[in-house]
Chain A
Amino acid sequence: MTDFPILSVIIFFPLLGSIVLLFIKRERADLIKTVALIFSIFEFILSLPLFFLFDETKKGMQFVEKYRWFPEWGISYFLGIDGISLLLILLTTFLTILCVLISWTDIKTKVKEYYISLLFLETAMVGTLCALDLVLFYIFWELMLVPMYLLIGVWGGPRRIYAAVKFFLYTMAGSVLMLLAIFALYYLFYKEKGVFTFNLLDLLGAHVPISLQYLLFAAFAISFAIKVPMFPFHTWLPDAHTEAPTAGSVILAGVLLKMGTYGFLRFAIPLFPKAAYDAIPIVSILAIIGIIYGAIVSMMQPDLKRLIAFSSVSHLGYVMLGMFAFNVQGVEGSIYQMLNHGISTGGLFLLVGMLYERRHTRMIADFGGLSSVMPLYATFFMIVTLSSIALPGTNGFVGEFLILLGAFKAKKIYGILGATGVILGAVYMLWMFQRVMFGTIKHEENKNLKDLCKREILIMCSIVFFIIFMGVYPKVFFKKMDTTVDEFLRFVKERNAYYQTMSAITVGRGEK
Chain B
Amino acid sequence: MDVKFPLDELMLVAPELVICALGLFLLLIEALLKERARSIIPILTLAGGASAILILLELAEVRADVFFGLYSLDSLGILLKGLFLLILILITIVSMRYLEREDILQGEYYPLLLFSTFGMMIMVSSKNLLTIFIGLELMSLAVYILCGMLRENLKAAEASLKYFLLGAFASAFMVYGIALLYGSTGSLDIREYSQFISKGNYSTIFILGVALLLVGFAFKIALVPFHMWTPDVYEGAPTSITAFMAAGVKSAAFVAFLRIFYTAFLPIVKDWGGILWLIAVITMSYANVTALVQDNVKRMLAYSSIAHAGYILVAFVTGEKLLSSSIIYYLFAYAFMNIGAFTCVILLGRRGEENLDIDSYAGLSGRHPFIALCLTIFLLSLTGVPPLAGFMGKFYVFSTAIKAGYVWLAVIGVLNSVVAAYYYLRVVMYMYFKEPVKEIGEIDLSSPYVLVSLICIFFLIYMGVFPRDLMLLAERAVSSLF
Contact = CB atoms under 8 A, between A and B. Distances in A.
Contact of B414 (A142, A143, A153, A176): A176
Interface string A177-200: 101100110110000000000000
A142 B395 CA distance: 13
B418 A146 contact: no
Contact of A154 (B398, B418, B432): B432
A186 B398 CA distance: 13
Given A153-B432, A183-B403, A165 B468 contact: no
A160 B433 contact: yes
Contacts of B425: 149, 165, 168
Contact of A69 (B414, B417, B468): B468
A95 interface: no
B399 A161 contact: no
Interface string A65-80: 0000110110000000
Interface of B: 365-366, 369, 380, 385-387, 391, 395, 398-399, 402-403, 407, 410-411, 414-415, 417-418, 421-422, 425-426, 429, 432-434, 467-468, 471-472
Given A142-B386, A154-B432, A180-B410, 15 more contacts: A139-B387, A142-B385, A143-B387, A149-B425, A160-B433, A165-B422, A169-B422, A172-B421, A176-B418, A179-B395, A179-B414, A180-B402, A183-B402, A184-B407, A187-B399
Contacts of A153: 429, 432-433
A173 B418 contact: yes
Nearest to A109: B366
A424 interface: no
Nearest to A176: B414
Interface string A142-156: 110110011001100
A164 interface: yes
Contacts of B468: 69-70, 72
A146 B380 CA distance: 9
A54 interface: no
Contacts of B421: 168-169, 172
A165 B427 CA distance: 12
Contacts of A69: 468
Contacts of B418: 169, 172-173, 176
A153 B425 CA distance: 11
A209 to B, nearest CB: 14
- Per CB-CB distance, the 4 closest pairs between chain A and chain B, nearest first, are A176-B414, A139-B386, A183-B402, A183-B399
Interface residues of A, number: 33
Contacts of B434: 161
A138 interface: yes
A179 B398 contact: yes
Nearest to A145: B385
Contacts of B471: 70, 72-73
Interface string A377-410: 0000000000000000000000000000000000
Nearest to B417: A176
B414 A177 contact: yes
Contacts of A165: 422, 425-426, 429
B471 to A, nearest CB: 8
Contacts of A146: 380, 385
B422 A164 contact: no
Nearest to A70: B468
25 contacts: A70-B468, A73-B471, A110-B366, A138-B386, A139-B386, A139-B387, A142-B391, A143-B387, A145-B385, A146-B380, A149-B425, A153-B429, A153-B432, A153-B433, A154-B433, A161-B429, A168-B425, A172-B418, A173-B418, A176-B414, A176-B415, A176-B418, A180-B411, A183-B410, A186-B399
B469 to A, nearest CB: 10
Contacts of A110: 365-366
Interface string A346-373: 0000000000000000000000000000
A161 B433 contact: yes
Contacts of A161: 429, 433-434
A186 B468 CA distance: 18
Contacts of B398: 179-180, 183
Contacts of B369: 113
Given A143-B387, A146-B380, A173 B399 contact: no
Contacts of A135: 395
A168 B468 CA distance: 29
B390 to A, nearest CB: 12
With a 10 A CB-CB cut-off, give which of A138, A145, A186 has the most chain B CB atoms. Answer: A145
Contacts of B380: 146
Contact of B385 (A73, A143, A154, A179): A143
Contact of B467 (A70, A113, A154): A70
B414 A164 contact: no
A138 B467 CA distance: 16
A172 B391 CA distance: 13
A107 to B, nearest CB: 15
Contacts of B426: 165
Contacts of A145: 385
A13 B99 CA distance: 44
A140 B411 CA distance: 22
A138 B410 CA distance: 17
A176 B311 CA distance: 14
A146 B391 CA distance: 14
B142 to A, nearest CB: 39
A153 B430 CA distance: 10
Contacts of A142: 385-386, 391
Contacts of B391: 139, 142
With a 10 A CB-CB cut-off, give which of A135, A138, A146 has the most chain B CB atoms. Answer: A146
A153 B427 CA distance: 13
A150 B432 contact: yes
A364 B138 CA distance: 71
A143 B385 CA distance: 7
A139 B467 CA distance: 13
B453 to A, nearest CB: 16
Interface string A208-219: 000000000000
Contacts of A139: 386-387, 391
B233 to A, nearest CB: 30
B64 to A, nearest CB: 28
Given A72-B468, A145-B385, A184 B432 contact: no
B387 to A, nearest CB: 5
Contacts of A177: 411, 414
A296 B289 CA distance: 38
A280 B174 CA distance: 59
Contacts of A113: 365, 369
Given A168-B421, A180-B407, A143 B429 contact: no
With a 10 A CB-CB cut-off, give which of B403, B415, B425 has the most chain A CB atoms. Answer: B425
Contacts of A183: 398-399, 402-403, 410
